[in-house]
Structure 1
Amino acid sequence: MDFEVLNVDDDKMVLFIHEKMMNHSEFSSSPKSFEDANETLTYISEYKAEDKKFVIFLDLNMPKLDGWDFMEELKKKGLDKYCYIFVMTSSIDPTDKEKAESYAAVIGFVEKPISVDKLNDLKKKKELLPFFS
């Protein structure tokens, strides 16, 4: 089983920081970043495979297609089975957390900005253990 990390956020600086932190923590040496969630959907459609998971760090508040709509589209297109999603947020609203947990692909919440310590903790999530053991 292989995995690929995708960062989805409309803020270029956040994407830059996340890429650097992922490299430093050895979470991913080549994460892909997307400012547009529609482009992410297209990418997943084109590169999905039965032996591959996409680990997605997803911002909820984005123009055009926001994080909620992105997760709805993933589900509608049957692409959610290829994905593990971490919802990225700057505030943890209990209703957002509850709503996010209703999506099968969501495996956690991460507060922005991401850090090496947070990424090292995420490596211990049961869904990700096979990739980091």
Structure 2
Amino acid sequence: MNVEVLNVDDDKMVLFIHQKMMVNAQFCDSPKSFEDGYESLAYIEKEKNNNKHFIIFLDVNMPKLDGWAFLELLGNKGLSSYCYVFVITSSIDHTDQDKAETYPAVIGFVEKPLSIEKLKNLKTIEKLKPFFN
């Protein structure tokens, strides 16, 4: 089984920083970045197969397609089973975390800023262990 890591955030600087941290934390050698949720959904649809999964770091607050609408479309298109989503946001609103947990593809909630330490801890999540052993 192989996995691909996707960053979905409308902020180019955040995408750049997350990419560098992922490489430095040995979380992923070459994460893909998308500034638009629609583009990332199209990519998943095109690239999905039974042996490929996606770990997605999803920003909640984006202009074209926010994180909640992205998660709805992911489910409606039948793509949830291929994806492990971390909702990543600077929001400290606990209702966001509660809402995130209602989506089957969401396996975690991460507050910005993402750090090397947080990434190393994420590798120990039970659902992700097969990808990092």
- 1:10, distance to aligned residue in structure 2 (A): 0.2
Number of aligned pairs?
133
Per-residue deviation, 1:64:
1.0
TM-score under structure 1 length normalisation: 0.98
Letter in 2 for 1:74: L
Find the counterpart in structure 2 of residue 39 from structure 1.
Answer: 39
Secondary structure of the 2:3 match is: strand
1:127 counterpart = 2:127: yes
SS of corresponding position for 1:84: strand
Q: What do residues 37-63 of structure 1 show as CA deviations (whole Å, max 9, x unaligned)?
A: 000000000000111110000000000
Partner of 1:112: 112
Matched position secondary structure for 1:57: strand
Q: What residue is the counterpart of 1:100 in the other structure?
A: 100
| Superposed counterparts of 1:18-57, under 5 Å | 18-57=18-57
Residue 44 of structure 2 aligns to a residue whose secondary structure is helix
Superposition deviation, residue 92 in structure 1: 2.7
The normalised TM-score by structure 2 is 0.98
SS in 1 for 2:27: coil
Which position in structure 1 is the counterpart of 2:61? 61
CA RMSD of aligned residues (A): 0.6
Identity rate of aligned residues, in percent? 65
Distance 1:109 1:98 in 2: 9
Deviation of 1:91 (Å): 2.0
Secondary structure of residue in 1 paired with 2:49: coil
Secondary structure class of the residue paired with 2:125:
coil
SS in 1 for 2:57: strand
Q: Which residue of 1 aligns with 2:15?
A: 15
Measure, in 2, the Cα distance between the counterparts of 1:118 and 1:128: 14
Alignment partners' CA distance in 1, 2:80 and 2:123? 20
For structure 1, list consecutive stretches of 5 or more residues without a partner in the other structure: none
Q: What is the aligned partner in structure 2 of residue 87 from structure 1?
A: 87
Distance 1:73 1:123 in 2: 26
